[in-house]
Structures are given as C-alpha cells and as structure tokens.
Amino acid sequence: MQDGKYRGINATLCSDCHDSANNFKLPFSAADCSTCHQGNGLPKFSLAPKLPTQLNHSSNNYSGALWNGSQLAYWRNTVGACNYCHGNTLHESKALGNIDKISSGNLPNQTITKTSYWCANCHYKTTSSGNYSYNGNVFSPVPPEIMNSTGLVPQKAQDGTSFFNHSLKEWSDNICRPCHSTDSPDSTTRFIHNVSPGGGGADCASCHDVNATGAPSDKRIDIKAFEKGVHNSLNNGGNGACWACHGDGTEPGGHPAGYRSPKKCSNDNCHSLSQSYRAPMVYSISRMQAAMAIR
C-alpha cells in the first residue's frame, strides 16, 4: 500500500485488521465503525473512543429521515449515520471528516458548557461568534436548521410532529442538553452520539410557564396562578405536581411516558378509591344517586 491516501501506512498496522496470508486483501471478519467504537471494541484498538450502544443522533424511529422534507434522507442505518457526519474515513489517521469543518473553536470530547457550540454549528444559522460558527451546509443533505433559515425544514416531520422554532436566549450545547440528552452526558462527544428527539426534563416550569420560551405557546400555563390553587402542594409541590398528573409521580429524565394524556380527576389513582395522593374521593352523579337510594 504505497499510493494515494494509504501512503505511509505500514504492513504492521494493516495486519491489525487484515490477514497477511491473503496479501491484506480481505479483513479478518466483517467490520464497520461500531466494531471499534462500541461495546468492548477490539484489543488492538483499545484507545478508540467508545460511543453509546445503540448510537442515537435522535432515538426517534425516523432518525435520519425525520426532518429531511423534500431532501433525501440523511442516513438509513447506524453506519450510514457515521458516514453522513464523518465520511468514509476508515483508513484515515484523523477520521473526523466533515466534523472538522464545523468544529470552529470546539474540541472533540470537551465538557458541555455555555461556550461549546457543536450543536449550533450544525443546526443554527446566524452570525458567528467565538466557538460558534454555522457550517451545516457542508453536509448533504443539509441538516435541519432550528429556525428554518434554510427554508428546507417541513412544517410537519415524518411522525407528524409540528416544527418548533427555537427562539431561545442562546444556543450553546448546554442549552440543548436539558431537552435533548438521554443519559446526563458528561462530554459533547457522548451527547452528540446519544441525542433524544427533544422535549422534557425535570424542570417543567422552565419551559411551560407563560413567561418561558421553551415550549410552544399553546403548551404553556400560568405557573403563578397555578401556585395559588389547591393542586400546588400535590406530590410535594412545584414540578412534582406536574410529574403527578403527567407522569407516574417520580422525577423524569425527559417527558414522561404518556405525558400528553394527563390523569383524569375521578380516576387514575387521584380522586378515586385508591387515593394514591390522599386526595378526596369524587363520586359521579350516578354513583351518588345509587348511594342515596341504598340509604
């Protein structure tokens, strides 16, 4: 291997993956990015960065083709996601590919802070500043832009989700993490390779208050008015009241399962016989009439 991009790679290095008995033409076994970078990896590549299994740059089932609109899908399988962002860099000593072009002042595997802008450099098109510098158009198809400045984002995603214009105060990775992280990542690299579809977090009020900007306008409530009501002390009060009706009462890591179908007053363990929250029982008219007839 003396020509092209393989110049300088010696037989010893090649033998880590290829069998010299067949003149290095065939690998020992079928391998792809995940072989080295997920699970236990390979012994001869112990220093290769390890990523979460399953790889998720959105755990949505439509990941890779959720917001592409009229464009082709971004990718269609796990390795396709690797190639979309990094390119075919299997034999390159530095395998970041197009990721290098959106790095600006950011570093791989850095701590998530208000000065790290990996997400915005790919998804938010506006004036550059510091570590922020949009260059998402180096990818093809162009990734979805959170303000739809590209005009390529559809109003409805493949799963029916409506487009949400991210009119936030700032767009650092630290701002993206509360809604889009799945496992409290400690580095930007882990975060980017394990992204949730978005929405949710333990601090419901920070997005859903009428004075907040995180949630769509029709998904906000007046928190101050709510605090004056009888349900403010439910489940230890505050966000706990939200978790009680929109979840199972425990602190969620994102939107709880079934959060769009909150519990009803007279059942679902609230004002019924089970009384999980020690709430007073509420009888329907028919049950009250039946009870009075028995008397």
Span 139-176, pLDDT tens digits = 999 999 999 999 999 988 888 777 877 776 778 998 88
Pairing label, strands 56-57, 194-195: parallel
For residues 179 and 217, state if they share a domain.
no
Which position has the higher pLDDT, 240 or 10? 240
> Is residue 39 situated within a structural domain?
no
Dihedral over alpha carbons 145, 150, 152, 154 (to 10 degrees): 60
pTM score of the predicted model: 0.67
DSSP string of 268-291, one letter each residue = TTSSSSS-TT-PPP---HHHHHHH
In 270-288, which positions are buried (b, 16+ CB within 10 angstroms) versus exposed (e)?
bbbeeeebebeeeeeeeee
For residues 232 and 184, state if they share a domain.
no
Query: Given pLDDT bands bounded at 50, 70 and 90, which one contains residue 3?
Result: very low
pLDDT at 41 over 70: yes
Residue 141: what pLDDT? 95
Side-chain-side CA neighbours of residue 159 (13 Å): 10
> Is residue 3 situated within a structural domain?
no
Give one word for 182, left, alpha or beta, with left for phi > 0 and alpha for psi -120 to 50: alpha
The residues, any chain, with a CB within 8 Å of residue 109's CB and separated by 6 or more, are: 49, 187, 188, 189, 190
For residues 167 and 61, state if they share a domain.
yes
> Is residue 1 situated within a structural domain?
no
Which position has the higher pLDDT, 258 or 63? 63
| Mean per-residue pLDDT of the chain | 79
Last residue of a domain, one of 170, 198, 226: 198
For residues 66 and 193, state if they share a domain.
yes
Last residue of a domain, one of 147, 176, 198: 198
Average pLDDT score over residue span 53-67: 85
For residues 226 and 193, state if they share a domain.
no
> Is residue 220 situated within a structural domain?
yes
Residue 27: what pLDDT? 52
For residues 67 and 194, state if they share a domain.
yes
For residues 144 and 217, state if they share a domain.
no
**In the 3-class helix/strand/coil scheme, how is 11-54 assigned residue by residue?**
HHHHCCCECHHHCCCCECCCCCHHHHHCCCCCHHHCCCCCCCCC
> Is residue 237 situated within a structural domain?
yes
> Is residue 233 situated within a structural domain?
yes
Average pLDDT score over residue span 38-64: 82
Span 247-295, pLDDT tens digits = 888 887 667 777 878 887 766 567 766 656 566 666 554 554 554 455 5
Last residue of a domain, one of 198, 233, 254: 198
> Is residue 5 situated within a structural domain?
no
> Is residue 145 situated within a structural domain?
yes
Span 74-97, pLDDT tens digits = 998 878 899 999 988 777 777 888
Find the domain containing 99 and state its range: 52-198
- The token duo for 123 is 């998804």
For residues 284 and 243, state if they share a domain.
yes
Residue 19: what pLDDT? 59
For residues 59 and 191, state if they share a domain.
yes
Distance CA 287, CA 138 (A): 66
What is the identity of the amino acid at 247? G
Side-chain-side CA neighbours of residue 51 (13 Å): 21
For residues 239 and 218, state if they share a domain.
yes
Total domains in the chain come to 2
Average pLDDT score over residue span 25-47: 73
Report the Cα–Cα distance between both ends of the chain, in Å, rounded: 96
For residues 119 and 225, state if they share a domain.
no
For residues 217 and 131, state if they share a domain.
no
Q: What 3-state DSSP class applies to 156?
A: strand
pLDDT at 101 over 90: yes
Span 109-131, pLDDT tens digits = 899 999 999 999 999 998 888 89
